[in-house]
């Protein structure tokens, strides 16, 4: 499936998940800002996908990221973040949510497995109660050491400041 077709509205995501579940496919859900995609994200998403047959990612909108991370974030727009995530082979659907937590989205989508990073305990994972109450699973995945969006941003700023550059060299 082309990556453009993986980016869906919440109603379409719910319909796809229902169809997959009718086909006896196990649907995994995770969420995050995914501001600057890095190797830690890729490994995390590949491991999340291994927990089931389909992987759906809930992505915070720009407004939600600003509320959670501050006015200087996100670095990349919600459209760009979704496009990059949708291009990954491990990802089957990408859906945005505007709330500060994905609780409403999780309750609407009703995934079979909810995955978060191991820095969360199951009892603090938003939506865990909902998934467990329906007989689903909640899993945590260890992060790739030394990889974070904040760390990437800090290294970019540090390199920029060291260079004294004011030019936009582009890529």
In tens digits, what is the pLDDT along the chain, a chain of 171 residues?
A: 788 899 999 999 999 999 999 999 999 999 999 988 888 889 999 999 999 999 999 999 999 999 999 998 999 999 999 999 999 999 999 999 999 999 999 999 999 999 998 888 889 999 999 999 999 999 999 865 655 666 666 666 677 787 775 555 555
Q: Is residue 35 part of a domain?
A: yes
CA–CA separation, 137 and 139 (whole Å):
6
Whether the CB-CB separation of 125 and 102 falls below 8 Å is answered with no
Q: Is residue 7 part of a domain?
A: yes
Q: Is residue 159 part of a domain?
A: yes
Comparing CA positions, the residue from 143, 145, 144, 111 lying closest to residue 128 is: 111
The one-character DSSP state at 54 is E
**Nearby residues of 101 by Cβ (< 8 Å), 6 or more positions away:** 126, 127
Look up the pTM and report it. 0.87
- Domain range for 53 is 3-163
Q: Is residue 42 part of a domain?
A: yes
**Alpha helix segments (H runs only) across 60-167:** 62-69, 78-86, 103-109, 128-133, 149-163
**Nearby residues of 81 by Cβ (< 8 Å), 6 or more positions away:** 33, 34, 35, 37, 59, 74
CATH code of 122's domain: 3.40.50.620
Beta bridge partners of 114: 29, 138
| pLDDT (0 to 100) of residue 40 | 86
| pLDDT (0 to 100) of residue 152 | 60
**Nearby residues of 162 by Cβ (< 8 Å), 6 or more positions away:** none
Q: Is residue 79 part of a domain?
A: yes
Q: Is residue 168 part of a domain?
A: no
Q: Is residue 56 part of a domain?
A: yes
The tally of domains found in the chain comes to 1
Q: What are the Cα distances from residue 66, in Å, to 10, 42, 55, 115, 138?
A: 21, 23, 25, 23, 27
CA–CA separation, 87 and 107 (whole Å):
26
| pLDDT (0 to 100) of residue 115 | 97
């Amino acid at each position: 499936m082309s990556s453009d077709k993986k980016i869906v509205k919440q109603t379409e995501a719910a319909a796809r998940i229902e169809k997959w579940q009718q086909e006896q496919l196990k649907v995994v859900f995770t969420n995050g800002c995914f501001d600057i995609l890095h190797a830690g994200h890729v490994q995390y998403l590949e491991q999340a996908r291994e927990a089931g047959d389909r992987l759906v990612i809930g992505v915070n909108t720009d407004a939600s990221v600003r509320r959670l991370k501050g006015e200087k974030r996100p670095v990349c727009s919600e459209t760009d973040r979704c496009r990059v995530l949708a291009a990954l082979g491990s990802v089957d659907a990408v859906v945005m949510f505007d709330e500060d937590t994905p609780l409403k989205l999780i309750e609407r989508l009703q995934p079979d497995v909810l995955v978060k990073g191991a820095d969360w305990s199951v009892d603090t994972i938003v939506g865990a109660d909902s998934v467990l109450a329906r007989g689903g699973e909640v899993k945590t995945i260890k992060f790739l050491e030394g990889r974070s969006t904040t760390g990437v941003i800090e290294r970019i700023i540090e390199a920029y400041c060291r260079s004294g550059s004011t030019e936009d060299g582009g890529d």
